[in-house]
Amino acid sequence: METLEGVVVVGGGPVGLLTALKLGRAGVKVVVLESEPSVSPSPRAVAYMPPTVAALERFGLLDDVRKRAVWSPEINYRHGDGTLFSTLDWGVLDEDTEHPYMLLLGQNHVSNVIVEHLQALPNVDIRWNHRVESIKQDTAYVTIETRMPGGLSRIRTRWVAATDGARSTVREQLGLTFDGTTWDERLVATNIFYDFSFHGYSRANFVHDPVDWAVVVQLDQSGLWRVCYGEDPDISMDEVRRRMPERFRKILPGAPNPDQYRVDHINPYRVHQRCASEFRRGRVLLAGDAAHITNPIGGLGLSGGVLDAEHLATALIAVIKESASKRVLDKYAAERRRVFLDFTSPTATANFNWMKESDPAKRAQDTAMLQSATADRAVMREMLLNFEKLNGVPRPSRLCAPEVGSNIRKFVESMSVRVMTSLRRLKPNFWKTFRAESLNTQVVLK
């Protein structure tokens, strides 16, 4: 049996490839086991938030990603008939980040860029067509059994990064639960060529409507756009295709006929909010969709996964190369799980509910709240700065603050961006006190 004194990465999606890249550059021996023959072309992630863009720069990938990507300086919110009712301008973060924009590019292209960089590393071996079927561990090694074209192979390794996606075999083999919920809606992701700019659409648009809600974003520099919309989960794929022209006539500006656009890709997805019960079990660590999965409205899934990859590789490098205590791995596991449960999942849930809200009173309230953010750049900055939480920040309730203050903070933190913003409008004094308290406690931490 082959023995690797290094790390096996199970799953060569973007999170696994990034983990391999950082480990490989630090001189760690890495084998990536990927069941597919190459990077998957299926239409999935397209939008990446400023902290994720900053991470791509730290990975040394941003220049190459930008060659094909486009970036959006704003997020636009529209009603179902296409009318614009609010714009959030990333430029409010000019002084907070070097990347005050949303980067747009299909995740398959991002993965291909990572693969190119990995090919320069002799200590990283990507094995396509290798499906992991079972894993076992003892105190010294993890043994992995893999099905490949020639039959079965076995490898034992010191550490495993489980990045094999939402249906993770590794997570299942470890007996970890994937708790949460599945949404009723089915999401249809399409890549199409259509001239949205001609109809006044900017590069990133959220269309709010109880039925014809949609996300419309430009995908790259080739004129390809992503349109994501909701469909009945009970109808067949053939029926999804049959209904598409009628749905597009309502959703796309200009109510086009099928001869006015070209569909490049279409894929339906079920949507979930789920999180693994643990992100570390012995010598195996989970990251990306294997660890947590969210609905994609607002682009937080891979945006968080990229940061998981960076934190996981950093922790493993510390243990393998610098003999750090294995507690850094527990810290990785606890902190990334907290980021998902406290920020990513509630924010994405609010985004999705917001977009398809059917109660007219709540819709009016949401519209007013977004319009107030457009009108007040301080509120806008606060909303957009929230995405920095993807990095993981010290939790104020952990700090030495008065008990009452920390309870208020815990309560407010657990609420979505939507509720926080409404609260700020309704209770400006409470909000000022809350902000002052959080800022003070963060200073104490430093």
Nearer to ligand FAD, 168 or 441 (CB): 168
Question: Considering the complex, what minimum distance in angstroms separates the CB of residue 46 from ligand FAD?
Answer: 4
Question: Considering the complex, what minimum distance in angstroms separates the CB of residue 233 from ligand FAD?
Answer: 14
Chain contacts with ligand FAD (rule: CB under 6 A): 10-16, 33-36, 40, 44-48, 107, 131-132, 163-165, 169, 187, 189, 228, 269, 288-289, 296, 299-303, 305
CA dist 432 and 441 (Å) reads 14
Count each helix (H run) and each strand (E run) in the chain, helices first.
Answer: 14, 19
Question: Considering the complex, what minimum distance in angstroms separates the CB of residue 412 from ligand FAD?
Answer: 25
345-382 residues labelled b (16+ CB within 10 A) or e (exposed): bbbbbbbbbbbbbeeeeebeebbebbebbbeeeebbbb
Taken in order 330, 331, 336, 337, the sign of the CA dihedral is positive
Nearer to ligand FAD, 304 or 396 (CB): 304
Instruction: Match 């639960």 to its residue by tokens.
Output: 177
Tell me the CA distances in angstroms from 427 to 153, 430, 432, 437, one per residue in order.
Answer: 62, 5, 9, 16
Nearer to ligand FAD, 143 or 365 (CB): 143
CA dist 289 and 168 (Å) reads 8
CA dist 361 and 197 (Å) reads 32
Question: Considering the complex, what minimum distance in angstroms separates the CB of residue 267 from ligand FAD?
Answer: 7
Tell me the CA distances in angstroms from 299 to 38, 52, 344, one per residue in order.
Answer: 24, 11, 10
Element of type H or E holding 310: helix 301-322
Question: Considering the complex, what minimum distance in angstroms separates the CB of residue 153 from ligand FAD?
Answer: 12
Question: Considering the complex, what minimum distance in angstroms separates the CB of residue 294 from ligand FAD?
Answer: 7
Nearer to ligand FAD, 164 or 382 (CB): 164
Instruction: Match 């894993």 to its residue by tokens.
Output: 135
Nearer to ligand FAD, 44 or 356 (CB): 44
Nearer to ligand FAD, 31 or 92 (CB): 31
Backbone angles phi, psi at 235, to 5 degrees: -90, 155
For residue 155, how far is the Cα from the chain centroid? Answer: 31
Nearer to ligand FAD, 107 or 416 (CB): 107
Question: Considering the complex, what minimum distance in angstroms separates the CB of residue 210 from ligand FAD?
Answer: 20
